[in-house]
Amino acid sequence: MKKSLVIFGLALLMAFPVGAATPLTGKIIALDAGHGGGETGAVGVCNGVEVIEADVNAAVRAALKTLIETGEGVVHEVVRLSSRQDRVADAESAGSDVLISIHHNGSSNTSADYTQSFVTQRNDKVFAGYIHPSIVSALGLPDKGIKSDGYGMTVYGSLPGILTESYFITDTDGACDFLAYRSGATNTRVHREAQAMYDGLLAYFSATPGGGKGRNK
- 136-148 residue pLDDT tens: 999 999 999 999 8
Q: Each residue of 4-30: pLDDT tens digit?
A: 554 545 555 455 555 568 899 999 999
- One-letter-per-residue 3-state SS of 135-165: HHHHHCCCEEEEECCCCHHHHCCCCCEEEEE
Check residues 91 and 120 and name the one with the higher pLDDT: 91
Q: What confidence tier does 36 reach under pLDDT thresholds 50, 70, 90? A: confident
Domain at 2-7+27-207, CATH class:
alpha beta
Question: Which sequence spans correspond to the domains of the chain?
Answer: 2-7+27-207
